[in-house]
Amino acid sequence: MTGAPHPLTPIEALLKERIGLDAASVGAGMIARAVLERQVAVGATDIANYWNLLHAVPDELQALIEAVVVPETWFFRHREALLTMARFASQRIFGDGVPVLRVLSVPCSTGEEPYSIVMALLDAGMPPGRFSVDAVDVSARALERARAGHYGENAFRGRPLDFRDRYFAPAAAGYRIGDNVRAQVRLLRGNVLDPALLAGESPYHVVFCRNLLIYFDPDTQRRAVRELTRLTRPDGMIYVGPAEASLLSYEGLASAGVPLAFAFHPQPVPPPMHRTPHVAPPPHAPRPATSPRMPAPPRRVPPPPALHAQPAPADAGALAAIAAQADRGELAAATVACQQYLARHGASADAHCLLGVLHDAGGRLADAHAAYRKAVYLDPGHEEALYHLAALLDSEGDAGGAARLRERAQRHARMSHV
Protein backbone atom coordinates (compact mmCIF):
# COMPACT_ATOMS: atom_id res chain seq x y z
CA MET A 1 0.00 0.00 0.00
CA THR A 2 1.46 3.38 -1.01
CA GLY A 3 -1.24 5.78 0.10
CA ALA A 4 -4.71 6.14 1.64
CA PRO A 5 -7.85 8.22 1.13
CA HIS A 6 -7.47 9.76 4.59
CA PRO A 7 -3.79 10.20 5.49
CA LEU A 8 -3.92 9.32 9.20
CA THR A 9 -6.63 6.67 9.24
CA PRO A 10 -4.32 3.74 8.35
CA ILE A 11 -1.77 4.89 10.94
CA GLU A 12 -4.45 5.16 13.61
CA ALA A 13 -5.64 1.66 12.69
CA LEU A 14 -2.08 0.35 12.88
CA LEU A 15 -1.56 1.85 16.35
CA LYS A 16 -4.84 0.31 17.50
CA GLU A 17 -3.82 -3.09 16.14
CA ARG A 18 -0.37 -3.06 17.71
CA ILE A 19 -0.90 -1.38 21.10
CA GLY A 20 -4.70 -1.04 21.38
CA LEU A 21 -4.60 2.75 21.25
CA ASP A 22 -7.98 4.40 20.66
CA ALA A 23 -7.21 7.52 18.60
CA ALA A 24 -10.19 9.33 20.11
CA SER A 25 -8.67 9.00 23.60
CA VAL A 26 -5.57 11.04 22.72
CA GLY A 27 -6.96 13.02 19.81
CA ALA A 28 -6.04 12.96 16.14
CA GLY A 29 -3.97 16.10 16.69
CA MET A 30 -1.54 14.33 18.98
CA ILE A 31 -1.11 11.47 16.52
CA ALA A 32 -0.66 13.96 13.67
CA ARG A 33 2.08 15.78 15.60
CA ALA A 34 3.84 12.50 16.36
CA VAL A 35 3.68 11.46 12.70
CA LEU A 36 5.07 14.82 11.61
CA GLU A 37 7.88 14.52 14.15
CA ARG A 38 8.81 11.11 12.77
CA GLN A 39 8.48 12.29 9.14
CA VAL A 40 11.07 14.96 9.82
CA ALA A 41 13.30 12.52 11.72
CA VAL A 42 13.43 9.97 8.88
CA GLY A 43 13.27 12.45 6.00
CA ALA A 44 9.90 11.34 4.62
CA THR A 45 8.57 13.76 2.02
CA ASP A 46 4.86 13.14 2.69
CA ILE A 47 2.44 10.85 4.52
CA ALA A 48 2.43 8.24 1.77
CA ASN A 49 6.24 8.11 1.82
CA TYR A 50 6.23 7.81 5.62
CA TRP A 51 3.61 5.00 5.45
CA ASN A 52 5.99 3.02 3.26
CA LEU A 53 8.96 3.75 5.55
CA LEU A 54 6.87 2.71 8.55
CA HIS A 55 6.73 -0.80 7.11
CA ALA A 56 10.19 -0.90 5.57
CA VAL A 57 12.45 0.57 8.25
CA PRO A 58 13.14 -1.67 11.26
CA ASP A 59 11.98 -0.19 14.58
CA GLU A 60 10.24 2.81 12.97
CA LEU A 61 6.85 1.67 14.26
CA GLN A 62 8.32 1.50 17.75
CA ALA A 63 9.72 5.01 17.32
CA LEU A 64 6.26 6.25 16.31
CA ILE A 65 4.67 4.52 19.31
CA GLU A 66 7.13 6.24 21.61
CA ALA A 67 6.39 9.61 19.99
CA VAL A 68 2.65 9.10 20.57
CA VAL A 69 2.78 7.59 24.06
CA VAL A 70 4.03 10.43 26.23
CA PRO A 71 4.40 9.20 29.82
CA GLU A 72 2.92 11.34 32.57
CA THR A 73 3.76 9.92 35.96
CA TRP A 74 5.47 10.69 39.24
CA PHE A 75 6.52 8.97 42.45
CA PHE A 76 3.80 7.88 44.89
CA ARG A 77 1.02 8.87 42.52
CA HIS A 78 -2.32 8.06 44.19
CA ARG A 79 -0.57 7.31 47.46
CA GLU A 80 -3.54 5.50 49.02
CA ALA A 81 -3.23 2.65 46.52
CA LEU A 82 0.41 2.11 47.47
CA LEU A 83 -0.34 2.15 51.19
CA THR A 84 -3.18 -0.32 50.66
CA MET A 85 -0.86 -2.55 48.65
CA ALA A 86 1.70 -2.47 51.48
CA ARG A 87 -0.97 -3.51 54.01
CA PHE A 88 -2.12 -6.33 51.72
CA ALA A 89 1.50 -7.47 51.32
CA SER A 90 2.00 -7.47 55.08
CA GLN A 91 -1.06 -9.68 55.52
CA ARG A 92 0.22 -12.12 52.92
CA ILE A 93 3.81 -12.19 54.17
CA PHE A 94 3.37 -11.97 57.94
CA GLY A 95 -0.13 -13.42 58.24
CA ASP A 96 -0.41 -16.05 55.51
CA GLY A 97 3.28 -16.91 55.37
CA VAL A 98 3.71 -16.30 51.62
CA PRO A 99 7.42 -16.95 50.91
CA VAL A 100 7.87 -14.31 48.19
CA LEU A 101 5.29 -11.73 47.18
CA ARG A 102 5.26 -11.09 43.43
CA VAL A 103 4.16 -7.70 42.05
CA LEU A 104 3.65 -6.58 38.44
CA SER A 105 3.59 -3.00 37.16
CA VAL A 106 2.27 -2.69 33.59
CA PRO A 107 2.83 -0.33 31.91
CA CYS A 108 5.71 0.88 34.04
CA SER A 109 6.62 3.91 31.92
CA THR A 110 9.90 5.47 33.13
CA GLY A 111 9.95 3.57 36.42
CA GLU A 112 8.23 5.85 38.90
CA GLU A 113 5.47 3.36 39.71
CA PRO A 114 7.51 0.15 40.20
CA TYR A 115 10.11 2.03 42.23
CA SER A 116 7.32 3.55 44.35
CA ILE A 117 6.00 0.03 44.94
CA VAL A 118 9.42 -1.08 46.19
CA MET A 119 9.76 1.93 48.48
CA ALA A 120 6.28 1.39 49.93
CA LEU A 121 7.07 -2.27 50.66
CA LEU A 122 10.43 -1.46 52.22
CA ASP A 123 8.78 1.22 54.35
CA ALA A 124 6.23 -1.36 55.49
CA GLY A 125 9.04 -3.55 56.83
CA MET A 126 9.15 -6.08 53.98
CA PRO A 127 12.56 -7.82 53.86
CA PRO A 128 14.04 -7.39 50.35
CA GLY A 129 14.24 -11.16 49.90
CA ARG A 130 10.50 -11.57 50.47
CA PHE A 131 9.22 -9.66 47.42
CA SER A 132 10.01 -8.95 43.79
CA VAL A 133 8.62 -6.47 41.24
CA ASP A 134 8.37 -7.05 37.49
CA ALA A 135 7.89 -3.90 35.42
CA VAL A 136 6.70 -4.07 31.80
CA ASP A 137 6.35 -1.38 29.15
CA VAL A 138 5.95 -1.26 25.37
CA SER A 139 8.43 1.63 25.09
CA ALA A 140 12.13 0.79 24.91
CA ARG A 141 12.95 4.45 25.49
CA ALA A 142 10.90 4.56 28.70
CA LEU A 143 12.58 1.39 29.95
CA GLU A 144 16.03 2.88 29.33
CA ARG A 145 15.10 5.88 31.43
CA ALA A 146 13.86 3.56 34.16
CA ARG A 147 17.15 1.66 34.09
CA ALA A 148 19.09 4.90 34.38
CA GLY A 149 17.11 5.80 37.50
CA HIS A 150 17.74 9.54 37.14
CA TYR A 151 14.78 11.86 37.80
CA GLY A 152 14.12 15.59 37.74
CA GLU A 153 11.93 17.69 40.01
CA ASN A 154 8.78 16.91 37.98
CA ALA A 155 8.89 13.31 39.23
CA PHE A 156 8.37 14.54 42.81
CA ARG A 157 4.97 16.14 43.30
CA GLY A 158 2.83 16.84 46.30
CA ARG A 159 3.65 16.04 49.90
CA PRO A 160 5.13 14.30 51.77
CA LEU A 161 8.48 13.79 50.01
CA ASP A 162 10.24 12.06 52.90
CA PHE A 163 10.93 9.01 50.71
CA ARG A 164 13.29 11.10 48.58
CA ASP A 165 15.67 11.56 51.50
CA ARG A 166 15.63 7.85 52.27
CA TYR A 167 15.94 6.34 48.81
CA PHE A 168 17.55 8.91 46.48
CA ALA A 169 20.90 10.64 46.19
CA PRO A 170 21.32 14.14 44.69
CA ALA A 171 22.58 14.08 41.10
CA ALA A 172 23.04 16.54 38.25
CA ALA A 173 19.72 18.35 37.66
CA GLY A 174 17.81 15.96 39.89
CA TYR A 175 18.11 12.76 41.91
CA ARG A 176 19.26 9.21 41.33
CA ILE A 177 17.38 6.33 42.90
CA GLY A 178 19.25 4.03 45.24
CA ASP A 179 20.64 0.70 44.08
CA ASN A 180 18.73 -1.11 46.85
CA VAL A 181 15.46 -0.02 45.21
CA ARG A 182 16.54 -0.72 41.63
CA ALA A 183 17.73 -4.19 42.59
CA GLN A 184 14.16 -5.22 43.45
CA VAL A 185 12.78 -4.42 39.98
CA ARG A 186 13.10 -6.47 36.79
CA LEU A 187 12.41 -4.28 33.73
CA LEU A 188 10.89 -6.05 30.71
CA ARG A 189 9.56 -5.01 27.31
CA GLY A 190 6.07 -6.17 26.45
CA ASN A 191 2.45 -5.32 25.70
CA VAL A 192 -0.42 -6.00 28.09
CA LEU A 193 -2.61 -7.01 25.13
CA ASP A 194 -0.23 -9.80 24.13
CA PRO A 195 -1.72 -13.17 25.26
CA ALA A 196 1.82 -14.53 25.52
CA LEU A 197 3.00 -11.77 27.87
CA LEU A 198 4.76 -13.37 30.86
CA ALA A 199 3.27 -16.72 29.84
CA GLY A 200 6.04 -18.63 31.60
CA GLU A 201 5.58 -16.77 34.88
CA SER A 202 3.39 -17.69 37.82
CA PRO A 203 0.44 -15.34 38.42
CA TYR A 204 1.19 -12.30 40.55
CA HIS A 205 -0.13 -11.47 44.00
CA VAL A 206 -0.47 -7.79 43.02
CA VAL A 207 -0.87 -6.17 39.59
CA PHE A 208 -0.77 -2.42 38.99
CA CYS A 209 -2.25 -1.22 35.70
CA ARG A 210 -3.22 2.38 36.27
CA ASN A 211 -4.38 4.94 33.72
CA LEU A 212 -3.86 2.70 30.68
CA LEU A 213 -7.37 1.36 30.04
CA ILE A 214 -8.71 4.88 29.46
CA TYR A 215 -6.75 4.96 26.18
CA PHE A 216 -8.53 1.87 24.80
CA ASP A 217 -11.88 1.46 23.10
CA PRO A 218 -14.46 -0.78 24.90
CA ASP A 219 -13.51 -4.00 23.10
CA THR A 220 -9.81 -3.47 23.78
CA GLN A 221 -10.57 -2.59 27.39
CA ARG A 222 -12.30 -5.94 27.83
CA ARG A 223 -9.32 -7.73 26.25
CA ALA A 224 -6.97 -5.93 28.61
CA VAL A 225 -9.05 -6.82 31.68
CA ARG A 226 -8.98 -10.48 30.63
CA GLU A 227 -5.19 -10.35 30.36
CA LEU A 228 -4.86 -8.62 33.74
CA THR A 229 -7.05 -11.32 35.29
CA ARG A 230 -4.87 -14.01 33.71
CA LEU A 231 -1.77 -12.42 35.21
CA THR A 232 -3.22 -12.17 38.73
CA ARG A 233 -3.71 -14.89 41.32
CA PRO A 234 -7.38 -15.54 42.20
CA ASP A 235 -6.71 -14.23 45.71
CA GLY A 236 -4.60 -11.34 44.44
CA MET A 237 -5.31 -7.65 43.82
CA ILE A 238 -5.49 -5.50 40.68
CA TYR A 239 -5.03 -1.74 41.01
CA VAL A 240 -6.35 0.63 38.34
CA GLY A 241 -6.74 4.39 37.97
CA PRO A 242 -9.70 6.30 39.41
CA ALA A 243 -11.39 6.67 36.01
CA GLU A 244 -11.12 2.93 35.35
CA ALA A 245 -12.75 1.52 38.49
CA SER A 246 -16.26 1.35 37.06
CA LEU A 247 -14.97 -0.69 34.09
CA LEU A 248 -13.58 -3.44 36.35
CA SER A 249 -16.77 -3.47 38.36
CA TYR A 250 -18.85 -3.93 35.20
CA GLU A 251 -16.53 -6.72 34.10
CA GLY A 252 -17.42 -8.65 37.26
CA LEU A 253 -14.32 -8.06 39.37
CA ALA A 254 -14.92 -7.63 43.09
CA SER A 255 -13.95 -4.37 44.74
CA ALA A 256 -11.43 -4.77 47.55
CA GLY A 257 -13.51 -2.29 49.54
CA VAL A 258 -10.80 0.26 50.31
CA PRO A 259 -11.71 3.89 49.60
CA LEU A 260 -9.43 5.79 47.20
CA ALA A 261 -7.34 2.70 46.39
CA PHE A 262 -9.30 1.52 43.30
CA ALA A 263 -8.30 -2.07 44.01
CA PHE A 264 -10.09 -5.22 42.83
CA HIS A 265 -9.90 -8.97 43.23
CA PRO A 266 -9.71 -10.77 39.88
CA GLN A 267 -12.72 -12.83 40.92
CA PRO A 268 -15.04 -12.78 43.92
CA VAL A 269 -13.36 -14.30 46.98
CA PRO A 270 -14.62 -14.89 50.54
CA PRO A 271 -13.86 -11.70 52.48
CA PRO A 272 -11.27 -11.81 55.29
CA MET A 273 -12.70 -11.96 58.78
CA HIS A 274 -12.05 -8.26 59.31
CA ARG A 275 -14.06 -7.11 56.25
CA THR A 276 -17.70 -7.12 55.32
CA PRO A 277 -18.72 -8.65 52.00
CA HIS A 278 -18.59 -6.39 48.97
CA VAL A 279 -21.89 -4.65 48.38
CA ALA A 280 -22.60 -4.51 44.64
CA PRO A 281 -23.80 -1.15 43.32
CA PRO A 282 -27.24 -0.81 41.74
CA PRO A 283 -27.20 -1.24 37.93
CA HIS A 284 -27.32 2.52 37.31
CA ALA A 285 -24.35 3.36 39.56
CA PRO A 286 -21.26 4.42 37.59
CA ARG A 287 -18.77 3.24 40.22
CA PRO A 288 -18.43 0.29 42.57
CA ALA A 289 -19.44 0.67 46.18
CA THR A 290 -16.64 0.17 48.66
CA SER A 291 -16.59 -0.55 52.35
CA PRO A 292 -13.83 0.23 54.83
CA ARG A 293 -12.35 -2.31 57.19
CA MET A 294 -14.74 -3.60 59.80
CA PRO A 295 -13.66 -4.18 63.41
CA ALA A 296 -11.37 -7.14 63.87
CA PRO A 297 -12.65 -10.32 65.55
CA PRO A 298 -12.02 -10.64 69.29
CA ARG A 299 -8.37 -11.23 70.04
CA ARG A 300 -7.13 -14.04 72.24
CA VAL A 301 -5.99 -11.51 74.85
CA PRO A 302 -8.35 -8.50 74.71
CA PRO A 303 -7.15 -5.19 76.18
CA PRO A 304 -8.33 -4.36 79.70
CA PRO A 305 -11.63 -2.45 79.60
CA ALA A 306 -10.17 0.29 81.76
CA LEU A 307 -7.49 1.11 79.20
CA HIS A 308 -9.42 1.22 75.93
CA ALA A 309 -12.91 2.28 74.98
CA GLN A 310 -14.89 -0.36 73.15
CA PRO A 311 -15.33 0.55 69.47
CA ALA A 312 -18.92 1.07 68.44
CA PRO A 313 -20.21 -1.27 65.74
CA ALA A 314 -20.01 0.45 62.36
CA ASP A 315 -22.85 0.78 59.91
CA ALA A 316 -21.16 -0.84 56.91
CA GLY A 317 -23.72 0.45 54.44
CA ALA A 318 -23.36 4.07 55.55
CA LEU A 319 -19.56 3.94 55.54
CA ALA A 320 -19.58 2.20 52.16
CA ALA A 321 -21.67 5.05 50.75
CA ILE A 322 -19.18 7.60 52.11
CA ALA A 323 -16.29 5.61 50.66
CA ALA A 324 -18.02 5.46 47.27
CA GLN A 325 -18.50 9.22 47.42
CA ALA A 326 -14.76 9.61 48.00
CA ASP A 327 -14.01 7.26 45.11
CA ARG A 328 -15.99 9.60 42.85
CA GLY A 329 -13.59 12.38 43.83
CA GLU A 330 -16.04 14.17 46.14
CA LEU A 331 -13.54 14.40 49.01
CA ALA A 332 -14.98 17.48 50.73
CA ALA A 333 -18.53 16.10 50.74
CA ALA A 334 -17.31 12.67 51.89
CA THR A 335 -15.36 14.25 54.74
CA VAL A 336 -18.44 16.16 55.93
CA ALA A 337 -20.54 12.99 55.65
CA CYS A 338 -18.03 11.03 57.71
CA GLN A 339 -17.96 13.71 60.41
CA GLN A 340 -21.77 13.71 60.50
CA TYR A 341 -21.72 9.90 60.77
CA LEU A 342 -19.50 10.14 63.86
CA ALA A 343 -21.72 12.83 65.37
CA ARG A 344 -24.79 10.62 64.93
CA HIS A 345 -23.34 7.21 65.80
CA GLY A 346 -20.58 7.99 68.28
CA ALA A 347 -17.02 6.68 68.34
CA SER A 348 -16.19 4.05 65.73
CA ALA A 349 -12.69 2.83 64.86
CA ASP A 350 -13.68 2.23 61.25
CA ALA A 351 -15.26 5.64 60.85
CA HIS A 352 -12.28 7.40 62.41
CA CYS A 353 -9.92 5.47 60.13
CA LEU A 354 -12.01 6.44 57.09
CA LEU A 355 -11.99 10.06 58.24
CA GLY A 356 -8.21 9.84 58.52
CA VAL A 357 -7.98 8.55 54.94
CA LEU A 358 -10.14 11.44 53.74
CA HIS A 359 -8.07 14.02 55.63
CA ASP A 360 -4.89 12.35 54.34
CA ALA A 361 -6.10 12.51 50.73
CA GLY A 362 -6.98 16.17 51.21
CA GLY A 363 -3.52 17.03 52.54
CA ARG A 364 -4.73 17.75 56.09
CA LEU A 365 -2.04 15.66 57.75
CA ALA A 366 -2.53 16.89 61.32
CA ASP A 367 -6.24 16.04 61.17
CA ALA A 368 -5.43 12.68 59.59
CA HIS A 369 -2.92 11.96 62.37
CA ALA A 370 -5.55 12.68 65.05
CA ALA A 371 -8.18 10.51 63.33
CA TYR A 372 -5.84 7.53 62.95
CA ARG A 373 -4.78 7.88 66.60
CA LYS A 374 -8.43 7.80 67.66
CA ALA A 375 -9.05 4.67 65.56
CA VAL A 376 -6.07 2.92 67.14
CA TYR A 377 -7.20 3.99 70.62
CA LEU A 378 -10.61 2.44 69.98
CA ASP A 379 -9.21 -0.68 68.32
CA PRO A 380 -5.51 -1.26 69.14
CA GLY A 381 -5.28 -3.93 66.40
CA HIS A 382 -6.80 -1.84 63.61
CA GLU A 383 -4.23 -2.68 60.94
CA GLU A 384 -5.24 -0.07 58.38
CA ALA A 385 -5.05 2.75 60.91
CA LEU A 386 -1.71 1.44 62.20
CA TYR A 387 -0.17 1.39 58.72
CA HIS A 388 -1.54 4.82 57.85
CA LEU A 389 -0.24 6.25 61.10
CA ALA A 390 3.15 4.66 60.49
CA ALA A 391 3.32 6.30 57.07
CA LEU A 392 2.62 9.69 58.64
CA LEU A 393 5.28 9.16 61.28
CA ASP A 394 7.73 8.31 58.51
CA SER A 395 6.93 11.61 56.81
CA GLU A 396 7.54 13.40 60.12
CA GLY A 397 10.95 11.78 60.52
CA ASP A 398 9.95 9.40 63.34
CA ALA A 399 11.28 6.20 61.77
CA GLY A 400 11.41 4.41 65.12
CA GLY A 401 7.78 5.15 65.95
CA ALA A 402 6.71 4.10 62.46
CA ALA A 403 8.59 0.81 62.76
CA ARG A 404 6.93 0.03 66.11
CA LEU A 405 3.46 0.63 64.66
CA ARG A 406 4.17 -1.63 61.68
CA GLU A 407 5.48 -4.38 63.97
CA ARG A 408 2.30 -4.06 65.99
CA ALA A 409 0.18 -4.42 62.84
CA GLN A 410 2.24 -7.41 61.73
CA ARG A 411 1.81 -9.11 65.13
CA HIS A 412 -1.93 -8.61 64.83
CA ALA A 413 -1.88 -10.12 61.32
CA ARG A 414 -0.10 -13.22 62.66
CA MET A 415 -2.52 -13.56 65.59
CA SER A 416 -5.59 -13.21 63.40
CA HIS A 417 -4.40 -16.18 61.31
CA VAL A 418 -3.71 -18.46 64.30
pLDDT in tens, 388-415: 787 777 666 677 777 788 778 777 766 6
Q: What is the pLDDT of residues 169-187, one digit of tens each?
A: 999 889 999 999 999 999 9
How long is the chain?
Answer: 418
Position 312 scores a pLDDT of: 55
Tell me phi and psi for residue 50, to 5 degrees: -65, -40
Q: Tell me the percentage of the chain whose pLDDT exceeds 90.
A: 27
Q: What is the pLDDT of residues 225-251, one digit of tens each?
A: 999 999 999 999 999 988 788 888 888
CATH number of 316-416: 1.25.40.10
Mean pLDDT confidence for 79-95: 89
Q: What is the pLDDT of residues 23-75, one digit of tens each?
A: 776 666 778 888 888 888 888 888 888 888 888 887 788 788 777 766 668 89
pLDDT band at residue 101, thresholds of 50, 70 and 90? Answer: very high
325 vs 294 pLDDT, higher one = 325
| Residue type at position 65 | I
Lowest mean pLDDT among 36-40, 84-88, 275-279: 275-279
The phi-psi region of residue 97 (left if phi > 0; otherwise alpha if psi is between -120 and 50; otherwise beta) is left
Position 304 scores a pLDDT of: 34
In CATH terms, are 79-265 and 316-416 the same topology?
A: no
| Residue type at position 90 | S
Position 313 scores a pLDDT of: 63
Considering only CA atoms, which of 236, 183, 186, 187 is closest in space to residue 208? 236
Mean pLDDT confidence for 87-111: 91
91-95, 151-155, 159-163, 185-189, range with greatest mean pLDDT: 185-189
Considering only CA atoms, which of 400, 399, 418 is closest in space to residue 166? 399
Please work out, in degrees rounded to the nearest 5, the angle formed at the alpha carbon of residue 88 by the alpha carbons of 168 and 368: 70
User: For residue 270, is pLDDT > 50?
Assistant: no
Crossing angle between the packed helical segments 47-56 and 9-19, to the nearest 10 degrees:
30
Question: Domain ranges in the chain?
Answer: 9-68, 79-265, 316-416
CA distances from 255 to 107, 239, 250, 263, 314 (A): 22, 10, 11, 6, 19
pTM: 0.64
User: For residue 291, is pLDDT > 70?
Assistant: no
CA distances from 67 to 86, 237, 368 (A): 34, 32, 41
Considering only CA atoms, which of 269, 258, 287, 259 is closest in space to residue 229? 269
Q: What is the pLDDT of residues 7-17, one digit of tens each?
A: 457 888 888 88
CATH topology of domain 79-265: Rossmann fold (3.40.50)
User: For residue 132, is pLDDT > 70?
Assistant: yes
